[in-house]
Amino acid sequence: MSTQPTASAGYADLHVHSCYSDGADTPMRVAERACKLGFAAISLTDHDTVEGVGEAEAAAREHGMEHLSGVEISARFQNLEVHILGYGINAGNQTLLAALSDLRRERDLRAVRMAAKLAPLGIELDMDAIRAEVRRGVIGRMHLARKIHELGKAKTVQDAFDKYIGRGKPAFVPKEAVTADAAIALIHTAGGLAFLAHPGIGKEVERRLPQLLTLDFDGIEVYHSKHTPGQITTFTMLAVERDLLISGGSDCHGEGKREPADMGKVRLPHYHVLRIQEAVRARKQV
């Protein structure tokens, strides 16, 4: 038997953002980028929205790639913010759509509150322009950071977080997030599987991993652009020990002014996509 990789082998990127949340690219552009990099499968995982899923599916198909429907929900666990990836969700599920619609409204309110805190600091943001930009998608701090940078009030987009809207900075407003338990239940209700996103970002999340993994997760995002080789080994061992599925992705937000896009930094062997798809099907039959 040949050991050559076939088209159904290859690699996947299961964590990518589009302009429906805080990425710079349309789902079509995301698919083009993935295709150029030789990926066999992708998953669009926008923050708190599935508005881009249909376009991503069509764009992936056009480029001869697979698309796994996805979302990245911001949730809270005790006093921590954790991100939870949902794979294989039915993007038309009414319970999911209603919950995401609430989160969208909360994000809009929060952006207005942050803008109100930025005004006395000499930064006037045009909220209508930001809303027009996100269209049916959700507003995130990245949108505000880009505008602050464009206005010349921060040297880089990152600098805008460091000076103004990062946690603990003068214009920061926390998000009204759902609990991690509720986010996982929501993903399950929509027929998907819940994965703990980038457990290696943020010391506190990593420290509380044993507690976090007592929740009803189906898998862990082992591979991520910001995970060190040591973290990847640790998370792989945890996944094996606890019989959890493994996912991975770049968390690409497109190209920044001076930053290249992150896509291509993580190449998840396609085998994991097959395991996830099998588990999604098994769950649906229960």
The residues of the shown chain that bind Fe ion, judged by CB under 5 A, are 72, 83, 197, 251
- List, as one string, the DSSP characters of 258-277: S----TTS--EEHHHHHHHH
Contact 43, 11 (CB under 8 A): no
Sign of CA dihedral 85, 90, 96, 102: positive
Q: Which of 18, 74, 93, 231 binds ligand AMP (CB under 6 A)?
A: 74
Give the nearer residue to Zn ion in terms of CB position, either 143 or 270. 143
Q: Could you tell me which of 168, 113, 171, 117 has the C-alpha nearest to residue 139?
A: 113
The residue nearest Zn ion at its CB is 22
Q: Return the one option of ligand AMP, Zn ion, Fe ion, none that residue 74 interacts with (CB less than 5 to 8 A, by type).
A: ligand AMP
* Residue 24 or 273 having the CB closest to ligand AMP: 24
Q: Is 221 in the site for Zn ion (CB under 5 A)?
A: no
Nearer to Fe ion, 123 or 146 (CB): 146
The neighbour count for residue 179, using CB atoms within 10 Å, is 14
**Candidate ranges 2-10, 138-146, 190-198, 234-242; the one touching ligand AMP (CB under 6 A):** 138-146
Binding ligand AMP (rule: CB under 6 A), the pick from 140, 199, 219, 254 is: 140
Minimum distance between the CB of residue 57 and ligand AMP, rounded to whole angstroms? 23
Q: Name residue 11's beta-bridge partners.
A: 269
- Closest residue by beta carbon to ligand AMP: 140
User: Residue 133: which of 120, 143, 142, 119 has the closest Cα?
Assistant: 143
- What character string, x for contact with Zn ion (CB under 5 A) and - otherwise, covers 13-42? ---------x--------------------
| DSSP reduced 3-state for 85 | strand
Distance of alpha carbon 184 from alpha carbon 282, whole angstroms: 17
Rounded Cα distance between 272 and 89, Å, is 17
CB of 48 to ligand AMP, least distance (A): 8
- Going by C-alpha positions, the residue among 59, 48, 73, 49 that lies closest to residue 26 is 59
Closer to Fe ion at the Cβ: 19 or 123?
19
Tokens, residue 191: 């027929």
Q: Is 93 in the site for ligand AMP (CB under 6 A)?
A: no
| Minimal distance, residue 1 CB to Fe ion, in Å | 38
Closest approach of Cβ 210 to Zn ion, in Å?
Answer: 27
Q: Could you tell me the smallest distance in angstroms from the CB atom of residue 166 to ligand AMP?
A: 5
CB of 176 to ligand AMP, least distance (A): 11
Dist CA 144 CA 126 (whole Å)? 10
Nearest residue to Fe ion on Cβ basis? 83
Strands 70-77 and 80-87: antiparallel
Note whether 45 and 88 are within 8 A (CB): no
Query: What is the Cα–Cα distance from 4 to 2, expressed in whole angstroms?
Result: 5
> What does the binding site for Zn ion look like in residue numbers (CB under 5 A)?
22
> What does the binding site for ligand AMP look like in residue numbers (CB under 6 A)?
22, 47, 74, 140-142, 158, 161, 166, 175, 253
